[in-house]
């Protein structure tokens, strides 16, 4: 039992990070009814962007967010406004395939520019831990991931609840025709929504880059994590995002604790498939 | 008039068939290789088209069957000394079993959930095989049959897969199931009310696609001799199938025929620059979806009514 405390603690903290990874995808899923298959890759793109900034300017990854987040906002507006908005319609395949194509483009572009080497965003937080007992340690980096994750999710929640743009986005999502009649430019609104989703992806990308190593091909792995969180927690639910993140991270770390790290991801996927089979709308989703 | 053009079409198809069947006699080694790859990609792409273009099953996990069948071939020939073509056949059967098992989970999902579900299955297999001592982890296996088949034999196997996949898709679409599938594609709810057995038709197509994809992949790995989990279960397979079907024309039988040709041509030219070629594939695919969403053959059909193999029935004989 003693040995279980560490993976449980790490799982909870990692759950916060998983929630930020997923929040952007969940938002777009809920508002534009679109699964952004390039979400993971655009997240990793932010990681590389931050890498370039910290090498050029010698700043810390957290400070680089000041630049990476606005840049990713415009990337998101561009992706939605120029590519995805043009194929939105009755059928679900075209937007999905465009996003898939985008994912391939981003991956191979990164491969071309940055080579397949493993990268990470160096911080001095990485080695610090706070001892909580004889065998239990609190990794500071994981704690930072968790806290930043919770802050981001709360900020997104407040944005959608309290700002004009946030309410307009929700209105466009609830009743597209109605919103258009009331003078809302829904296509533009979707572009802003993607911009905001990409801002969260930027934070997620930098946190992931600080916590783990990443390669040009790491994107799909995080896409599946994001998707898992969204599925477990339920569509478009902020609370679901946090709980889904916790469950997925705990399943992975406890799985790894019992069987070795090679199978860590396998446990996450298995939990995901079970939830999909048993309760497809997720724990907090409406049918 | 209609009858004449139809006869003409069958003559062209017959000539093409004979030309492909005799490549080992008159073609150069390079042409043989080209036709071999063409037939294999055609087989897999026809199956993906059957799923996505006709059955409404957007699968992003065909690599699950490709890798599973490839590994079946490797394990059966290496560890059990099974005759190479028998192990290819068994690989196809194992793919069907895998598809049956997957269907327990993913047939409860719809649309995008289905797409991601298939992908997750493929990722799970990738993780499983790369951690499995029995298949030597991620280092992969060489496929060493006691009597390695000749290039000509492999070519004919590939040819059977390419032509066979075409025939299978055509037969299914001309059958009662195909009629139901196309009704379903137009309006799922109405067609169900009219008595189309949606679930069974979809499952049938999923299993057929798994079988043919598995067989084709088996032949591919007999040709490639080496299998490794990171390549066999890679999402790159789906990228290629998406490209072939989208560029050729989704939901047309001719689409993959044209798309596979363009893809093999393209990949031969860019063989040395693997990631640039994927980058370009992505850009071309997106451009096609935005500009001509029906692909080359779909757009051609719409503009000129040109069809080679139509699953449509003509009601009244002229």
Q: Which two tokens stand for residue B14?
A: 């017959």
Tell me the mean pLDDT in the region A53-80. 94
Per-residue pLDDT band for A258 (boundaries 50, 70, 90) equals confident
CA angle B104, B106, B107 (to 5 degrees): 75
Q: Is the pLDDT of residue A35 over 90?
A: no
What single-letter DSSP state applies at residue B149?
P
A286: confidence class by pLDDT, cuts 50, 70, 90 = low
Residues of chain B with a CB closer than 8 angstroms to some CB in chain A: 52, 58, 60, 104-106, 108-109, 111-113, 115-117, 119-121, 123-124, 127-128, 130-131, 235, 239, 242, 246, 250, 275-276, 278-279, 281-283, 285-286, 289-290, 293
- How far apart, in Å, are the Cα atoms of A216 and each of A117, A118, A210, B70? 8, 8, 15, 27
The pLDDT of residue B318 is 40
Averaged confidence pLDDT in chain B: 88
Interchain proximity B112–A96, CB inside 8 Å: yes
CB B115 to CB A269 under 8 A?
no
What residue numbers bound the domain in which A187 lies?
Answer: 2-122+132-278
Residue B317's pLDDT is 45
Q: Which of A36-40, A135-139, B115-119, B222-226 has the lowest mean pLDDT?
A: A135-139
3-state secondary structure of A119: strand
One CATH from 1.10.3470, 2.60.40, 1.10.287, 1.25.10 for B2-304: 1.10.3470
pLDDT at A285 over 70: no
| pLDDT single digits (tens) A108-131 | 999 999 988 999 888 877 677 888
Q: Stretch A44-60: mean pLDDT, rounded?
A: 94
Q: How many domains does chain A have?
A: 1
Give B5's pLDDT tier (boundaries 50, 70, 90).
Answer: low
Q: How far apart are the first and last CA of chain A?
A: 38
| pLDDT of A147 higher than 90 | yes
Instruction: State the pLDDT confidence band at B192, using cuts at 50, 70 and 90.
Output: confident
pLDDT at B42 over 90: yes
CA distance A59 to chain B (A): 31
Asked whether A61 and A54 are in contact (CB, 8 A), the reply is yes
Mean pLDDT of B177-199: 83
Residues B196-207: what's their mean pLDDT?
90
pLDDT tens digits, residue range A213-235? 999 988 988 988 898 898 888 77
- Pick the residue from chain A with its C-alpha nearest to B273: A112
Identify the pLDDT of residue B225: 92
Q: Looking at beta carbons, which residues of chain B come within 8 Å of A263?
A: 127, 131
Measured distance CA(A216)–CA(B61) in Å, rounded: 21
Comparing C-alpha atoms, which of A209, A165, A202 is closest to residue A66?
Answer: A202
Chain B nearest-CA residue for A223: B116
Taking an 8 Å cut-off on Cβ atoms, the answer to whether B112 and A93 are in contact is: no
Asked whether the beta carbons of residue B282 and residue A224 sit closer than 8 angstroms, the reply is no
Closest CA to A156 of A191, A188, A198, A200: A200
**Residue A178: half-sphere exposure toward Cβ, Cα within 13 Å:** 8
Q: Has residue A261 got a pLDDT over 80?
A: no
User: B160 with B268: CB under 8 angstroms?
Assistant: no
Residue A283 within any structural domain of the chain: no
Evaluate whether residue A95 is within a structural domain: yes
Q: Which sequence spans correspond to the domains of chain B?
A: 2-304
Please, what is the average pLDDT of chain A? 87
Compute the count of residue pairs across chains A and B with CB atoms less than 8 Å apart. Answer: 103
Contact B50, B311 (CB under 8 A): no
Specify the pLDDT at position A171: 84
pLDDT for B316 beyond 60: no
- Residue B5, CA distances (Å) to B12, B254, B255 in order: 11, 17, 20
- CA atoms of A226 and A232, how far apart (whole Å): 10
Rounded distance between C-alpha atoms, residue B107 and residue B5, angstroms: 41
The nearest CA of chain B is from the CA of A219 a distance in Å of 12
Q: Which residues of A touch B (CB under 8 A)?
A: 35, 83, 86-87, 92-94, 96-98, 100-105, 107-109, 111-112, 220, 224, 227, 231, 262-263, 265-266, 269-270, 272-273, 276-277, 280
Tell if the pTM clears 0.90, that is, is over it.
Answer: no
Mean pLDDT of B132-142: 89
- Per-residue confidence (pLDDT) for residue A81, from 0 to 100: 93
**A287 belongs to a structural domain:** no
User: Is residue A138 in a domain?
Assistant: yes
> From CA B48, how far away is CA B242, in angstroms rounded?
8
Q: Output phi, psi for A160, to 5 deg.
A: -70, -25
Residue A127 lies in a domain: no
Return the pLDDT at B1.
46
Provide the shortest C-alpha distance from residue B277 to chain A (in Å).
Answer: 9
What pLDDT, on the 0 to 100 scale, is given for residue B218? 96
CB contact under 8 A, B113 and A280: yes
Interchain contact, B279 vs A112, CB within 8 Å: yes
In CATH, what number is assigned to the domain containing residue A53? Answer: 1.10.3470
Q: Check pLDDT > 90 for residue B285.
A: no
Instruction: Count CB-CB contacts under 10 A for residue B85.
Output: 17
Mean pLDDT of B220-243: 91
CA closest to B52 among chain A residues: A93
What is the ipTM metric for this complex? 0.81
* Contact call for residues B276 and A110 (beta carbons, < 8 A): no
- Report whether pLDDT(B245) > 70: yes
Specify whether the backbone of A139 is left (phi greater than 0), alpha (psi in -120 to 50) or beta. Answer: beta
Q: Looking at beta carbons, which residues of chain B come within 8 Å of A225?
A: none
The whole-number pLDDT of residue B313 equals: 63
pLDDT-derived band at A1 (thresholds 50, 70, 90) equals low
Flag whether pLDDT at B276 surpasses 90: no
Split at pLDDT 50, 70, 90, the class of B188 is: confident
**Nearest chain A residue (CA) to B238:** A100
Distance separating alpha carbons of residues B23 and B43, to the nearest angstrom: 18
The beta-carbon contacts of A157-160 under 8 Å, at least 24 apart in sequence, are: A157/A238, A159/A196
Q: Which of A108, A223, A230, A256 to mutate to test the interface with B (most CBs of B within 10 A)?
A: A108
Residue A210 lies in a domain: yes
Q: Are A41 and A173 in contact (CB under 8 A)?
A: no
């Amino acid at each position: 039992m003693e040995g279980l405390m560490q993976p449980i603690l790490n799982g909870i903290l990692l759950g916060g990070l998983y929630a930020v990874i997923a929040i952007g995808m969940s938002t777009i899923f809920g508002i534009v009814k679109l699964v952004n298959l390039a979400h993971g890759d655009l997240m990793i793109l932010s990681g590389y962007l931050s890498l370039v900034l910290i090498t050029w300017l010698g700043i810390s990854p957290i400070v680089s967010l000041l630049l990476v987040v606005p840049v990713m906002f415009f990337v998101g507006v561009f992706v939605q406004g120029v590519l995805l908005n043009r194929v939105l319609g009755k059928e679900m395949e075209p937007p999905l395939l465009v996003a898939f194509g985008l994912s391939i483009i981003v991956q191979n572009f990164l491969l071309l520019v940055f080579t397949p080497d493993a990268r990470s965003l160096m911080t001095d937080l990485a080695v610090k831990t706070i001892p909580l007992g004889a065998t239990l340690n609190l990794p500071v980096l994981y704690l930072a991931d968790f806290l930043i994750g919770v802050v981001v999710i709360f900020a997104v929640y407040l944005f959608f609840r309290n700002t004009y743009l946030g309410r307009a986005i929700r209105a466009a999502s609830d009743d597209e025709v109605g919103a258009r009649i009331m003078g809302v430019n829904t296509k533009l609104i979707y572009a802003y929504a993607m911009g905001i989703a990409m801002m969260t992806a930027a934070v997620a990308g930098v946190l992931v880059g600080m916590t783990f190593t990443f390669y040009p091909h790491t994107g799909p792995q995080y896409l599946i994590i994001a998707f898992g969180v969204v599925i477990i927690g339920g569509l478009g639910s902020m609370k679901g995002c946090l709980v889904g993140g916790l469950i997925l991270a705990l399943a992975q770390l406890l799985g790894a604790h019992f069987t070795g790290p090679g199978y860590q991801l396998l446990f996450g996927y298995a939990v995901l498939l079970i939830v999909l089979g048993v309760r497809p709308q997720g724990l907090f989703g409406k049918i | 008039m209609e009858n004449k053009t139809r006869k003409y079409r069958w003559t062209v198809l017959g000539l093409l068939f004979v030309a492909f069947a005799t490549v080992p006699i008159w073609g150069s080694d390079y042409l043989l290789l080209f036709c071999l790859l063409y037939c294999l990609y055609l087989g897999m792409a026809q199956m993906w088209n059957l799923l996505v273009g006709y059955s409404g099953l957007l699968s992003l996990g065909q690599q699950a069957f490709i890798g599973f069948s490839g590994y079946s071939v490797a394990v059966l020939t290496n560890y059990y000394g099974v005759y190479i073509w028998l192990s290819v056949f068994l690989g196809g059967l194992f793919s069907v079993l895998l598809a049956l098992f997957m269907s327990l989970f993913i047939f409860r999902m719809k649309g995008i959930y289905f797409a991601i579900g298939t992908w997750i299955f493929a990722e799970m297999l990738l993780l499983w095989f790369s951690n499995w001592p029995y298949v030597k982890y991620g280092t992969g296996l060489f496929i060493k049959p006691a009597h390695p088949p000749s290039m000509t034999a492999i070519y004919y196997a590939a040819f059977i897969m390419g032509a066979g996949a075409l025939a299978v898709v055509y037969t299914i679409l001309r059958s009662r199931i195909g009629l139901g599938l196309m009704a379903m594609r137009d309006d799922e709810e109405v067609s169900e009310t009219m008595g189309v057995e949606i679930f069974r038709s979809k499952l049938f197509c999923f299993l057929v696609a798994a079988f043919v994809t598995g067989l084709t992949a088996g032949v591919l790995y007999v040709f490639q001799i080496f299998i490794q989990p990171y390549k066999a279960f890679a999402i790159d397979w789906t990228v290629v199938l998406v490209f072939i079907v989208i560029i050729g024309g989704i939901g047309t039988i001719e689409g993959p025929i044209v798309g596979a040709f363009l893809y093999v041509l393209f990949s031969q030219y860019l063989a040395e620059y693997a990631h640039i070629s994927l980058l370009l594939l992505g850009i071309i695919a997106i451009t096609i979806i935005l500009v001509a969403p029906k692909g080359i053959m779909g757009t051609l059909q719409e503009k000129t009514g040109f069809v080679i193999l139509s699953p449509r029935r003509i009601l009244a004989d002229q």
